[in-house]
Amino acid sequence: MPSATTMVAGVAVATDHFINGRRVPSAERFENASPIDGSDLGSVAAGGKAEADMAVAAAKSAFPAWAALGPKGRLPILKRFADGILARAADIAAVETADNGSLLAGNLHRMVPRAAQNISFFAEWALGLNDHAIDHAEVVNNVRYDPAGVAALITPWNAPFMLTTWKVGPALAAGNTAVVKPPEWAPLSCSLMADIAHEAGVPPGVLNVLQGIGEEAGDALVNHPDLARISFTGSTDTAKIIGQAAARSITAMSSELGGKSPFIVCADADLDAAAQTVAGQYINAGQVCLAGTRIIVEAKIESAFLEKVRAAVGQMTVGDPRDPATRVGPLIHPDHFARVAGFVDRAKAGGAQLLWGGGRAAAGGLYFQPTMFAGVSLSDEISQKEVFGPVLTWQAFRDDAEAVAMANGTEYGLAGTLFCGDEARAMRIAEQVVAGTLWVNCFFVRDLSAPFGGSRISGIGREGGTHSFDFYCDIKNIAVRKGSFMAKGA
């Protein structure tokens, strides 16, 4: 049966599930609209238990042959997959931008190339997985990274294509098969991913895409008894629900969740670079889990630095994310707009001082002004809760102990940014901040071999390089007594 398709930005996108190498429809469908202008992007299949069962069964039956290929056998297929992503970069970027409102230039030049790299990097890394042995007086420990089985991969709407490859890359490279559940507010780019993988020769059943609503398709998927892994990126509240499903079946789960990350600026920092980077926290309308949303500035430079940030933010254009001049696009959905506006209204009502922004931007629709609140205390809702919008807070510190206390004063621990001119001081502060990643005099640089994840309620586990394989593989030690084999020919 030909798949239902929708035309988005001139690209035909299949809107059915992709299971066992073919398109599978659902009786139920959900509507999808563009945050850019509210235009209709067509309906998408809404899976339930039947489709989740079908997808996991396909992944389960494809697993033995995919696992048996070994890293070397999988490498050329995954390299073709990565090349296929690059070949369709313009289509993927255009569809992603139409679907979630993220900046087109960013998708084209950064997110899609990174997505391709996620596939090829982990495929190559897997070649060396079983190369090491640990020598002991009596035994040699041969440490093996074996494929684990079917991985359920659940991703959010702010960067669905790139974040899905961050999971699909190591999961498939490790020899697992996968069922991807894309976000219902931006479901289309992952559908393109299924086509690209298929055309590259990824065998039927190895990569399945189950479309649908989180509480329905996602819930059916994570409660399936045949999963070996669940990898989730999304909100802390959803992670608590999925974690209960994982606990019932003792399925290993990794989660990368929200953040309320500190952005500390010391008096001796390069203040121009720091101000530009603060302004950069508004990109993609602040819908970035890693964003440094709490600006924590050394008191003696507070007013000078504020003027630099104000000037940098004043240069930012809010508007259509397809326009190369735009820095701040729309919020994803009317419900999310209402949520962000609710945080801002409550902060205003609570007496926070609005430095700029505070409501709908001149562009109208789902466009929200870059917003900054001062006069907040650490215990205020606006300091504690993740807004996931272009809303920052501003606080001043007098000494480093106070900066660290402010930085660590939420339940989150995903990331942090520090601008500082003194290396010893920077390292002293950095070592005390609770975060999975702490950037010093830079932001957003993510090395694929470095560990990535969150502390506290920002997540469980680390991915990246060998850490991804620690999660996606069943690690086994074959401990062999030294000298216990008869010599050949004896």
The residues that touch ligand ADP, with contacts defined as CB under 6 A, are: 154-157, 181, 183-184, 214-215, 218-219, 222, 234-235, 238, 241-242
C-alpha radius of gyration, the chain, whole number? 23
3-class DSSP state for residue 472?
A: helix
- Residue-level length of the chain: 490
Tell me how crowded residue 312 is: count the other CB atoms within 10 A of its CB: 18
Nearest-10 Cα torsion for 9, 100, 284, 293: 180
Q: Is the CB of residue 78 less than 8 Å from the CB of residue 172? A: yes
Give the C-alpha separation, 421 to 320, whole Å: 37
Shortest distance, position 437 Cβ to ligand ADP, whole Å: 19
Strand-pairing partners, residue 478, are: 142
Shortest distance, position 373 Cβ to ligand ADP, whole Å: 22
Shortest distance, position 160 Cβ to ligand ADP, whole Å: 8
Query: Between 17 and 308, whose beta carbon lies closer to ligand ADP?
Result: 17
Locate 169 and state its tokens.
């890359």
Shortest distance, position 100 Cβ to ligand ADP, whole Å: 11
- Return all residues near 258 (Cβ < 8 A) that are at least 6 apart: 235, 236, 289, 386, 388, 412, 414, 457, 458
Query: Between 47 and 321, whose beta carbon lies closer to ligand ADP?
Result: 47
Query: Between 289 and 448, whose beta carbon lies closer to ligand ADP?
Result: 289
Shortest distance, position 411 Cβ to ligand ADP, whole Å: 16
Shortest distance, position 157 Cβ to ligand ADP, whole Å: 6
Locate 308 and state its tokens.
């630099």
Q: From its phi and psi, is residue 27 left (phi > 0), alpha (psi between -120 and 50) or beta?
A: alpha
Shortest distance, position 469 Cβ to ligand ADP, whole Å: 24
Query: Between 230 and 403, whose beta carbon lies closer to ligand ADP?
Result: 230
Nearest to 189 by CA among 213, 158, 219, 216: 158
Q: In this structure, what DSSP letter does residue 108 have?
A: I
Query: Between 235 and 466, whose beta carbon lies closer to ligand ADP?
Result: 235
33-to-104, 187, 190, 199, 340 alpha-carbon distances in Å:
17, 11, 16, 28, 19
Task: List phi, psi (to 5°) of 374.
Answer: -110, -175
Strand-pairing partners, residue 439, are: 417
Task: List phi, psi (to 5°) of 212.
Answer: 145, 180
Nearest to 188 by CA among 24, 81, 43: 43
Query: Between 20 and 211, whose beta carbon lies closer to ligand ADP?
Result: 211
Give the C-alpha separation, 271 to 266, whole Å: 9
Please give the order of strands across the beta sheet that includes 227-233. 22-24, 17-19, 207-209, 177-181, 150-154, 227-233, 252-256, 459-460
Shortest distance, position 130 Cβ to ligand ADP, whole Å: 33
Query: Between 155 and 455, whose beta carbon lies closer to ligand ADP?
Result: 155
Query: Between 133 and 241, whose beta carbon lies closer to ligand ADP?
Result: 241
Shortest distance, position 237 Cβ to ligand ADP, whole Å: 7
Query: Between 213 and 354, whose beta carbon lies closer to ligand ADP?
Result: 213
Nearest to 124 by CA among 473, 466, 461: 466
Q: Is the CB of residue 372 less than 8 Å from the CB of residue 393? A: yes
Strands 292-298 and 391-397: parallel
Task: List phi, psi (to 5°) of 126.
Answer: -60, -25
Locate 138 and state its tokens.
């009596």
Catalytically active residues, by annotation: 256, 289
